[in-house]
Structure 1
């Protein structure tokens, strides 16, 4: 095979393990699975339930649509998470007085207690991961993530 044919063959092959979208997805999934061990073991939460709880804990009263938008979850996942959290008495719904088709969601006192318990665990988990890399690398990761978010998540 001549050099041109070899270069064309190499150009036609994608090394998935070096492809940025694959690497980011793989890493995000690995981190998410590690943190899931904590909230699943403590409270039996699924990822959508945790994200719904965390979003409401951060922002207070919101609609399911707003939760889905903030946490990048499909509406069916949000709906199932809301139903489960409501069944556990960690979340309550109220009909929006301005638009009766919309429900406002908020954590109950029991839900707020779980959220407050999880915040230091989440921060500790994040610190444990970041402590594995140097200060220089940590700053570089934060800068690169901010640049990618600014470029790809512009609204």
Structure 2
């Protein structure tokens, strides 16, 4: 592991002669994005052999399997995917008969997995849990808990920064998108007591 770390740092050594050049090996958002790219569900050959669902559809299916019955708005908040993408993914999962809508009155209907959806959920869950165990096998229980806590802090801080930027842009009369407005809603929801 030490060799791999040294090689990675060497590959990411800053070559820009300007002293204000961004050192990506020390830049937390870049590091998180790189790990996220490596762990992307659509890059995993085992998952690709289990299902043809795209990453967003699969993330929504996993949310429904873990938290269903659940609405698209709740999936959006939990996964931090934009609501439009979640709605499209839910509609695809409905067409593929991997989820079904609950018969409830109200604006948005919660969905649950069908038998076919449960099968994919179980297969994918077994694989991602095995992959998580391999990823964290060199970590102590304390390090795993620390990593989880730090990632939650990063998530909530990023949410706060984005929500505040949207508020500032609105105050300056700049246009913001529905996706930007969603950041504000998520921030308020996270801070509710």
Calculate the TM-score normalised by the size of structure 2. Answer: 0.64
Indicate the residue corresponding to 1:71 in structure 2: 79
Does structure 2 retain, via aligned residues, the 8 Å contact 1:49–1:84? Answer: yes
Q: Equivalent residue of 2:102, what SS?
A: strand
Change (3 A) 1:150 1:20: closer
Shift of 1:60: 1.5
Indicate the residue corresponding to 2:152 in structure 1: 149
Shift of 1:77: 1.5
5+ residue gaps in structure 1? 1-8
Distance 1:151 1:28 in 2: 14
**Per-residue Cα deviation, 1:41-100 (whole angstroms, up to 9, x for no partner):** 211111111111111111120110001111111112212211221121111123531x2x
Distance 1:33 1:94 in 2: 27
Does structure 2 retain, via aligned residues, the 8 Å contact 1:63–1:104? Answer: yes
- 2:66 maps to 1:58: yes
Distance 1:88 1:61 in 2: 18
Distance 1:52 1:33 in 2: 12
Structure 1 runs (4+) greater than 6 angstroms displaced: none
Give the length in aligned residue pairs: 141
- 2:143 maps to 1:140: yes
- 2:125 maps to 1:119: yes
Distance 1:125 1:118 in 2: 10
Change (3 A) 1:44 1:149: same
5+ residue gaps in structure 2? 1-17, 158-189
